[in-house]
A and B are shown apart, each in its own frame.
Chain A
């Protein structure tokens, strides 16, 4: 089973990298970009028997730092 884990900064957490990307887009002349937030995509290939609870634990224990990040799991 293939999983995609999207890890994103929580709303309200300052994202300096997003700001830098935003700035770079503007300097390339792209108008109308209101905000940029950068995150991570982690792809996992796991045994079919892997339970939702196990996936949840992987995210909570390692893949995301829930102090600053949210995560979302997508099954491919």
Chain B
């Protein structure tokens, strides 16, 4: 499966994501610079990595979301290409409008950096299909602005349509209804604050994140 990882000035989890993707797919992802305006052909996944793109200026992910490459990512996502945004990548996808809601400053105002338990809230997506519904997985978070906000109607709709992919098992950052990750309407775009790409090997703290990439690979095919 061919994959690409978008790199912004200030991305710092792009290599983590690339290592995870290569470990699972056996193919090195193409690293695509934010100033490019075209993506490689035939991608099975576009990854939008964590970090502090553009120094979090204006709002987290706001400037990155308006970069030339993101126009191509939005277009590709709308055609059905799987897109996965983690941490700052989630913030970027929310800023493009591919995903509903916004990520605000953590309610505690503290940067949260630790392992947290997540509940797999929905398994009906390429990303979550290898997990059990309601399963608890342990994945690290590292963010200052992960407090998910959307208006009550949007939250009801997300829950009603089974688009909450992951929930925090405890209050981590003040997120509305404990939401840690959401899917778009077509279920081919997932954004989440926790970092599954950092949990793909037992020797590196655990492999609870690995099935997210394996499920996608199985679905998209080699």
Is there an interface contact between A68 and B104, defined as CB atoms closer than 8 Å?
A: yes
A16 contact from B95, B100, B102, B109, Cβ within 8 A: B109
Is A13 part of the contact surface with B, judged by Cβ < 8 Å? yes
Q: Which secondary structure dominates where chain A touches chain B?
A: helix
Complexed CA–CA distance, A21 and B94 (Å): 27
Q: Residues of B contacting A46 with CB < 8 Å?
A: none
Complex formed: what's the CA distance from A13 to B174 in Å? 12
Q: Which residues of chain B have C-beta atoms less than 8 A from A14's C-beta? A: 104, 107, 147, 149, 174
Q: Which residues of chain B from 106 to 163 have any CB-CB distance to chain A below 8 Å in the complex?
A: 106-109, 147, 149-150
Which of B21-29, B58-66, B74-82, B191-199 lies on the face that meets chain A? Answer: B58-66
CA distance A63 to B107 in the complex (A): 23
CB-defined contacts of B100 to chain A, threshold 8 Å: 67
Cβ-defined contact, A17 with B149, below 8 A: no
Distance in angstroms from A58 CB to nearest chain B CB is: 11
A61 to B62, CA, bound (A): 10
Cα distance A14–B175 in the bound complex, in angstroms: 11
Q: Is the CB of B149 within 8 A of A16?
A: no
| B109 x A13 contact (CB < 8 A) | no
Q: Which residues of A contact B (CB under 8 A)?
A: 13-14, 16-17, 20, 61-63, 65, 67-68
